[in-house]
Amino acid sequence: MITRIRDVRRAKGMTLAEVAAACLPPTTAQTIGRLETGTRTVSVGWLNRIAAALGVEAADLVSLPDVVDLPVAAILGTAGVTAPRQPSVATPPRPGPGALALLVETSQGEYRAGDTLWLDRLAPEEFGRALNRDVLLPRPAGRFLFGRLIGRDPGKLQVLPLAGGGRQQVLSDPAWLGVATRLVRTLG
């Protein structure tokens, strides 16, 4: 099995020792190095431990024939655009459990037609995490409201629609809400 442990570790900016310490239970930098180079066989258990330490899915650590790596060409920083110190690849985003998508068909606010928003579904006890963020709220009869969550009182949410001139709407606490976490936009 060909692994991408080294590529992902470098992309995350972690040393062998940092990954080893983040594993549960902790291991040694030498063990991580041997697993990276293939000197030691990588089991599913090791893949899961290392993936958790790196904050990625185990599948991100394995080279699959139908997945194309995205090489990092340059890094934009305070000193301008520079070449990476060593070759690395960007880890593509993966939706988490319960994630939702919102397709933008007509431009509204800062969103353009053709955009896709990734949303994390939150339960009512987590609604406070979505304050001052763009949210999707389910309404009766299969309808939805999308806007900025600007307030939360017991049993009620205040949402400001993104369209200019829209009036604040108050909704009774829905069963869930989707908070926008990632914007996918084609440039050009």
Provide the total of helices (H) and of strands (E) in the chain, helices listed first. 4, 11
Q: Using one digit for the tens of pLDDT, what is the confidence trace for 118-168?
A: 999 999 999 999 999 999 999 988 899 999 999 998 889 999 988 777 788
Q: Using one digit for the tens of pLDDT, what is the confidence trace for 16-52?
A: 999 999 999 999 999 999 999 888 888 999 999 999 9
Only one residue has tokens 């949210």, namely 135
Task: Assess whether pLDDT exceeds 70 at residue 67.
Answer: no
Task: Assess whether pLDDT exceeds 90 at residue 173.
Answer: no
Q: Which of 70, 94, 73, 93 is nearest to 84 (CA)?
A: 73
Q: For the purposes of burial, counting CB atoms within 10 Å of the CB of 124, is it exposed (0-12), middle (13-18) or buried (19 or more)? A: middle
User: What structural domains and CATH numbers belong to the chain?
Assistant: 5-90 (1.10.260.40), 100-184 (2.10.109.10)
pLDDT at 85: 87
Say whether the peptide bond before residue 161 is cis (omega within 30 degrees of 0): no
On whether the CB atoms of residues 135 and 176 are closer than 8 A, the answer is no
Q: Which one has a higher pLDDT value, 139 or 63?
A: 139
Of 63-72, 97-106, 159-168, least confident by mean pLDDT is 63-72
Q: Using one digit for the tens of pLDDT, what is the confidence trace for 5-14?
A: 998 898 888 9
Any alpha helices (H) in the chain, and if so which ranges? 5-11, 16-22, 29-37, 44-54
Instruction: Calculate the average pLDDT of the chain.
Output: 89
pLDDT at 97: 82
pLDDT at 87: 83
